[in-house]
Every structure is written in C-alpha cells, then in structure tokens.
Amino acid sequence: MYKLAFIGGSIDSIAGYPHFIASQMDKKFEVLSGTFSTDAAINKATAKQWKIERCYDDYQSLIAHEKDRIDAVVILTPTPLHSQMIIDLLQANIPIICEKPLVGSLEEVAKIKKIYDPSKHFLVVTNNYSGYPMLRELRRKIASNELGEILSIRLKMPQESFLRPPKSVKYPQKWRLQDAFIPMINLDLGSHLHHLAYFLLHEEPTSVMAHYSSFSKYDVIDDVNMLLHYKSGISGNLWLSKTALGNRNGLHIEVYGTKASASWHQETPELLEFSYNTGEKTIIDRGSDIEIPPNTFYNRMTPGHPAGFIESFANIYNDIATALDKFHKKQPYLSEYIYGIDHAHFGLKLLHSASVANQQSTFVTIANGDTH
C-alpha cells in the first residue's frame, strides 16, 4: 500500500473527506500523516477523527519529517496556495497528487515547469469526473466512431451556490471570492470542463470566445459562457455558473455526432443516453453490455446498487496507484486516465485566452502545446 500525507483537506473543508475515503477505498493507499488546516484546533480534530498519529503544524515541518516515510503528498489546500507547495515538494523530490486546478495562472505553471523534470518527479492532478465508468464508456464509443463524425460538444456546470450556499459546508470561503485574471469560477469549474472535453474528444480547442457576468452580491465573475473552435471542425459550448438556481451541481455533457448523440448528467451518473439517426433512443448503464476495459472496481457492487461521486474518485486513485507503480519502474506514468502538468497547462491557456476574449469581445487563438 502506498503511504499518503495530506496538506489541507481538514474535516472542515469541502474536498478533504472525499479524498480521505476514496484514496483508501480499494486498499491501494493509506493516509498516515498530514497538516490538514491552518486552524490548530481543526488540524488536531481532523487527525483525531481520522485516527492519524502524525499531524504537523505546517507543511514545511511535514516535508522535513515525512520526506522518507511517505510515497506521496496530496495537496488539498485553496487553489492560490498550490503553486508554492508544489515547488517545495518537487524540490524535496516528494511525489505529488494535486487537486484541480493545478495552479491559477500561466505564470505559476511556467515557474513550476522550470524545475519539474518528468524523469525525476511525479506530479498528477485529480480530475475526478473522468473516473465515472459511463464517461469512460462514452470516450470509447466516440473513439470507435459509434457516434459518427463529431459535430459539437456542450458541457455545462451550473451551480446555485452564490445565491443559495449549501447548508452542509462553509461556503463561499474567502479565497473563492478573489478573482485574478483567470476568475476563480473558471479555475473551480472551467478546469473540470476543459479536462472532460479533452478526455472525450482527445483534441484541444484552437480558439475561444467568452462572455463573463457577475450576478451575485459577491462582486466576482459567477457566470461564464464560452464558445470553442476545434481544428477538426467540432464546435464547443461551455457554461459555468454559480448563480443558476435549481442546480446543486448540474454537470451535464452532450456530444453530437452524425450517427448519434449522447447525453450524461452527473447527478444520474450511472445512466448514459443515446439518440440515433434512426430515431431510436437507448439508455445504457453498468448492467448493459458495455465494453470499457474490464475493471472489477467499476463493479464494487453489482449493477442496480448505485455508485457515485466517491466511487468515481476512488477509480481515479486506483489509476494513480498504477501511475505510481510505473513511476517506480522508471516508466512514463501518465495514461489515458491520469493527467499531469501539460494537460493542466493547456487548460490554463484556454481559461487565460477566455479572459482575453471576454475583454476584447472576439475569438482569441489559443497557443498550441503538447497536451498530455
């Protein structure tokens, strides 16, 4: 089992507990140490609740004491803090599993790239939504031309959290209310949609047009529309919102091809709908004869017993364990399911170009780059 330490992710955070459960679900990882919160009492309470003996006051002490005792650190802190932590962990040669988005700007990714060496460092991002088996099946069907030539893709991630914050968590946190050139909503939600569009199409957009709005009392961008052009001719459409009442987390994907279209809703993640050019409509699920490579973890319990968000996160952790195995064998560790700094870099180029497009009210070309 790989040994993990967490930085951030306390019992008081949003992302921490899903990582704690998902990483340990299939016994590939155990969480042995951490510095979970800047609040000393919550830091200690997290360690106590999760029965973790080695708890540190800050991440510098964690690095100093845990460097040779753990296999990887999981970064679960607010996005603006990721960059310095990544640099310090890379300099200590500690493998890194980082929450999305990797960082918040092109400048930060450039700084990291100056010291990141893929032959020496392990750095992966938890793009959790592509852990859903039905999205993996959709990717396979697109690649094998079952939808025909792809004409367009629509991804939307509307939420209501700036008009109606969830009662279960402290939201919005202060750090989510500070926009930089790439606004926080793009980092929070746009990074997911960039990842999913690439995951499904295996192609990056060449230009983007964007329109930003600020509807809530928080005086930050909270609603974003983007149009994307792809070299292959595919047309893309993204909508992100934190002011869309009725949507808890309305992640929805539609892919339109010449032979069929597909539709997937995150809140019913086990169902994948197709509409064919014969007029026929079908819905498939884990119990159908799907063909994604056999993986017993997709069926921790037999079909008909709903699996969801935490299980899809655990699928990503299983893939990260495979990536770590490869890293230890000195093999390239990124895969069709696990993405690193170049993919995150392209995502930031897209989101940065969207901000330029919003300012200029025109389509903006996105600089090319290696995407994996």
Ligand X SMILES: NC(=O)c1ccc[n+]([C@@H]2O[C@H](COP(=O)([O-])OP(=O)(O)OC[C@H]3O[C@@H](n4cnc5c(N)ncnc54)[C@H](O)[C@@H]3O)[C@@H](O)[C@H]2O)c1
**Closer of 230 and 339 to ligand X (Cβ):** 339
Q: Is 75 helix (H, G, I), strand (E, B) or coil?
A: strand
* By CB under 6 A, residue 159 contacts ligand X: no
* By CB under 6 A, residue 199 contacts ligand X: no
Q: Which helix (H) or strand (E) holds 119?
A: none
Q: Contacting ligand X (CB under 6 A), which of 49, 60, 61, 173?
A: 173
User: What ranges in the chain are assigned the alpha helix state H?
Assistant: 16-24, 40-49, 59-66, 82-91, 106-115, 133-143, 184-185, 191-201, 309-328, 341-360
**Closer of 101 and 133 to ligand X (Cβ):** 101
> Least separation, in Å, of the C-beta of 174 and ligand X?
8
**Closer of 8 and 340 to ligand X (Cβ):** 8
> Least separation, in Å, of the C-beta of 319 and ligand X?
15
Helices 106-115 and 82-91: crossing angle, nearest 10°? 0
> Least separation, in Å, of the C-beta of 202 and ligand X?
22
> Least separation, in Å, of the C-beta of 278 and ligand X?
37
* By CB under 6 A, residue 37 contacts ligand X: yes
Q: Contacting ligand X (CB under 6 A), which of 2, 4, 5, 7?
A: 7
Binding mask 41-80 for ligand X (x = CB under 6 A): ------------------x----------------xxxx-
Site for ligand X in 115-144 (CB under 6 A): 128
Cβ atoms of 319 and 335 within 8 Å: the answer is: yes
**Closer of 41 and 217 to ligand X (Cβ):** 41
Cβ atoms of 208 and 363 within 8 Å: the answer is: yes
Chain-centroid distance, C-alpha 266? 14
What is the Cα–Cα distance from 55 to 62, expressed in whole angstroms? 8
Beta-strand relationship, 72-76 and 96-99? parallel
* By CB under 6 A, residue 347 contacts ligand X: no
* By CB under 6 A, residue 186 contacts ligand X: no
- The 10 Å CB-count burial string (b at 16+, else e) for 277-313 is eeeeeeebbbeeebebeeeebbeeeeeeeebebbbbb
123: Cα within 13 Å, side-chain hemisphere: 32
* By CB under 6 A, residue 263 contacts ligand X: no
Site for ligand X in 80-99 (CB under 6 A): 81, 99
* By CB under 6 A, residue 318 contacts ligand X: no
Size, binding site for ligand X by CB under 6 A: 24
Q: Please give the structure tokens belonging to residue 347.
A: 């995502």
**Closer of 39 and 117 to ligand X (Cβ):** 39
* By CB under 6 A, residue 23 contacts ligand X: no
Q: Is 44 helix (H, G, I), strand (E, B) or coil?
A: helix
**Closer of 58 and 325 to ligand X (Cβ):** 58
* By CB under 6 A, residue 13 contacts ligand X: yes
Q: Contacting ligand X (CB under 6 A), which of 24, 38, 152, 268?
A: 38
Cβ atoms of 347 and 101 within 8 Å: the answer is: yes
Q: Which helix (H) or strand (E) holds 212?
A: strand 205-213
Binding residues for ligand X, rule: CB under 6 A, are 7-10, 12-15, 35-39, 59, 76-79, 81, 99-100, 128, 173, 188
